[in-house]
Structure 1
Amino acid sequence: MIVFGQILYSIDQIKAGDKGPLPPEFEQGFQFCRRWLNGQDRFSLQTSGSTGEPKIIEVYRKQLLSSVNATRQFFKVKKGWKLLCCLDLDKIAGKMMLLRALEWEAHLWVHLPAANPLENLMEVDFDFVAMVPLQAEACLNNSRTKEALNKIKNLIIGGASISVPLKEALSNLKGSVYQSYGMTETVSHIALADVKKPGPLVYQTLPGVELKIDGEQRLQVRAPMTGDQWLPTNDMVQMISSASFIWKGRADFVINSGGIKIHPEEITAKLSGLMQEFFPGKKYFFTGRPDHQLGQSLIAVVEGVDDKKVGKAFLNQAKAILPRYKNPKDIVFVTEIKITSSGKIDQLRTLATWKN
């Protein structure tokens, strides 16, 4: 069964296209399920730009099935599991939750994306849920939904990387928690990292996935999910073994400051605790700004009211944590940090509104 909002549908109803009183916001998800159940072989997907400019790609049924089956094997899924889809149904993450429910013979609750997706679902003990970091954080910050989050047997976090404080908080949950690595071109995740293990996140591939890196340490992937073709990515990694790696950051986000290459994602990991101390609850990111001496200089962009005194104190304390050549040189305050529909910080849209 699948529950779209508050309306329960059987598989036979969906296959026959018997929509009944289906709310219009679930129309796309319903039709995607119907096409799948009726044997459609090719599907069009909108990429997010992880491997280049955003575009429409076509994937085959066997690619989607390979992802569904690899995840089932990894988590040892049983018939009748209870799943929650609280992700955008326009994106691959939401679509894959629908397919997992259909192929796993699971019970699925489909809710529109919300900051705290468990607020109205605390009575259900879920076996498998996918969230973005902002959703997991919101659930943890609410005493009632924190209890519901603690009952989830398997939680995967995707769409963006998790901060060190969030990793520590998620490590205290009873169920298993994984950060996922994947993209539209790999039809969802191809590797998972156990959040509860100490140290940096180490991603382990799903069954059937092959990895290699190019001369610039950018990851390349070949798997049934990619149509058994090598797929280049813009992700820079440190290979641990032929089937495991540590994600370093996006190649297109790398900052070249005086010949030193800086990964903003690594700076975020090292300074996340300090950011929470100085700017609790505020969204932020690190990026490069043109510099006539260094080429680029590292800056912090923080959501909130400009406070030069607090900003200066933060920059001074950051010097005690980071090597001198990786210190942020300035802090910029913006009225709002934009978020994409998949829960990622939208740096380009945010910076477009900033008056330098």
Structure 2
Amino acid sequence: MTSDSRSVQSQSQKTNLKLETWNSKLETHNLKLFPTHITLNNRPTRVDELIAGRENATGWERDWLDFLAEWYDARDYIEVKTSGSTGEPKNILLKKDFVAASALRTIRFFNLKAGDRVLHCLPARYIAGKLMIVRALIGQLDLHLVDPATDFEVLQSGLHFKFAAMVINQVSKILEFGIWNLKFDRRNLDFLLLGGSAIPVSLEEKLQQVQTTCYSSYAMTETATHIALRQLNGPGKDGWYHGLDGISVKLNENGCVRIEMPGLENGFLQTNDLGELKDERTFRILGRADNRIISGGLKFSPEELEGKLESAIDLPFYISSKPDERLGARLVLVVEGTESAGLISQLRESCNERLSRYEQPGEIIFTPALPRTGNGKIKRLPPDQL
């Protein structure tokens, strides 16, 4: 046995012993944080052999194997990087039992059973991709890994998947190129979880033609992915997020969502997301407080204005502001594209049709490429920083 194998086996034994007193839910479901095998493409594979051979892997395959090694190392935490969509990316530490609890909530919500085939197509560098691996480990799921840049031909292979998680760009690509011909259904995939950014209205409308049950996630790195889900299509379609087991939300004095869940420092996490509550587990997001623009004494949520415009503007864009002596700040529309008289006219017409008098952007700014984070989210830089 190699030193890597002995290390993995020793860590597995120590951690499985710890599990006996850690979480009664795990005991009830007969789950383990550190099983000796992981099932890949319906084939049980020794974890220690995968870890020992990761030096020969490259690219996205090396990323997921590196995380596997991190999950089985002697530390009781993993190190993850935030997306950077609301500030500079930073490294944070998450306890492994906290991460496992998140994985278990997803397993229970979607009723995933040992042997269920799940599709993993997310980068393992980010928390969403890491959680797919943890779910497969503790749920004894059949993990089918593909390159995050896949063309998704796997969904035409005749295989049936119980669950998959994707980002907006991946789902848009599937629909745009007709991989499912707008008919992907339970013959291909039972449940699809969308995350990474807000769901565009145009995409949500297309998903109404899809039989696969689709969910939007309210998630962040600090909570080890989603704490609440919203069904996007089908009979259970809903405009509200619903907190998962053991999670509740409140609003602070500024109307921002406060997440209360086991495992967080002090038991809660205060966000800058403006919210509306129906009850302590049912809410919706109105935008971010740090994005809010005050113009002429009126408060505007860029996300709300973008929602009104997104079905009419095909190019990537966002609402921002510039300093203004009279108004304090004036609204501006930032668009990825090449300026032309025809395009300006078209954009002005769209704004006039969908926005009120006071919501109209005072200026349209064009840029060859909008700044984005590593996982594709648009970064809302002020216009003078473009």
* TM-score, normalization by structure 2: 0.81
CA–CA distance in structure 2, aligned partners of residues 294 and 246 of structure 1:
30
Q: Deviations over 1:210-250 (max 9, x none)?
A: 21111111111121253562111111111111101111111
Q: Deviations over 1:324-350 (max 9, x none)?
A: 111222222211123322231123399
Larger Rg: 2
Counterpart of 1:305 in structure 2 is 338
Alignment CA distance shift 1:222-1:93 (3 Å): same
Shift of 1:195: 0.7
Report 1:132-211 matches (<5 A): 132-146=167-181, 149-150=184-185, 151-196=188-233, 201-211=239-249
Alignment CA distance shift 1:22-1:146 (3 Å): farther
Shift of 1:61: 1.5
Q: Deviations over 1:147-167 (max 9, x none)?
A: 684432111111100111100
Segment drifting more, 210-219 vs 116-125:
116-125
Counterpart of 1:19 in structure 2 is 53
CA–CA distance in structure 2, aligned partners of residues 42 and 94 of structure 1:
16
Alignment CA distance shift 1:20-1:264 (3 Å): closer
CA–CA distance in structure 2, aligned partners of residues 234 and 211 of structure 1:
13
Counterpart of 2:252 in structure 1 is 214
Shift of 1:309: 3.0
Q: Deviations over 1:161-189 (max 9, x none)?
A: 01111001112211110110110100100
Q: What is the Cα-based RMSD across aligned positions, in Å?
A: 2.7
Alignment CA distance shift 1:98-1:63 (3 Å): same
Contact 2:241 2:284 in 1 (8 A): yes
Counterpart of 1:86 in structure 2 is 121
Pairing partner for 2:99 from 55, 61, 64? 64
Counterpart of 1:44 in structure 2 is 79
Shift of 1:255: 1.2
CA–CA distance in structure 2, aligned partners of residues 20 and 182 of structure 1:
30
Alignment CA distance shift 1:13-1:199 (3 Å): closer
Alignment CA distance shift 1:313-1:182 (3 Å): same
Counterpart of 1:238 in structure 2 is 276
Counterpart of 2:362 in structure 1 is 329
Segment drifting more, 255-264 vs 291-300:
291-300
Q: Deviations over 1:55-80 (max 9, x none)?
A: 22111111111101111111111111
Secondary structure (helix, strand or coil) at the match of 1:273 reads: coil
Contact 2:320 2:383 in 1 (8 A): no
Where structure 1 has 5 or more consecutive residues not aligned to the other structure, the ranges are none
CA–CA distance in structure 2, aligned partners of residues 193 and 21 of structure 1:
40
Contact 1:118 1:149 in 2 (8 A): no
Contact 1:338 1:346 in 2 (8 A): yes
CA–CA distance in structure 1, aligned partners of residues 43 and 380 of structure 2:
39
Counterpart of 1:289 in structure 2 is 322
Counterpart of 1:30 in structure 2 is 65
Q: Deviations over 1:14-42 (max 9, x none)?
A: 46734278522222321322343467421
Q: Which amino acid aligns with 2:156?
A: M
Secondary structure (helix, strand or coil) at the match of 2:173 reads: helix
Alignment CA distance shift 1:352-1:148 (3 Å): farther
Shift of 1:85: 1.9
CA–CA distance in structure 2, aligned partners of residues 200 and 216 of structure 1:
25
Instruction: Tell me how many residue pairs correspond in the alignment.
Output: 344
Segment drifting more, 296-305 vs 90-99:
296-305
CA–CA distance in structure 2, aligned partners of residues 16 and 292 of structure 1:
62
Q: Which amino acid aligns with 2:375?
A: S
Shift of 1:8: 9.0
Shift of 1:318: 2.0
Q: Which amino acid aligns with 1:207?
A: D
Shift of 1:104: 1.3
Where structure 2 has 5 or more consecutive residues not aligned to the other structure, the ranges are 1-37
Secondary structure (helix, strand or coil) at the match of 2:169 reads: helix
Counterpart of 1:269 in structure 2 is 307
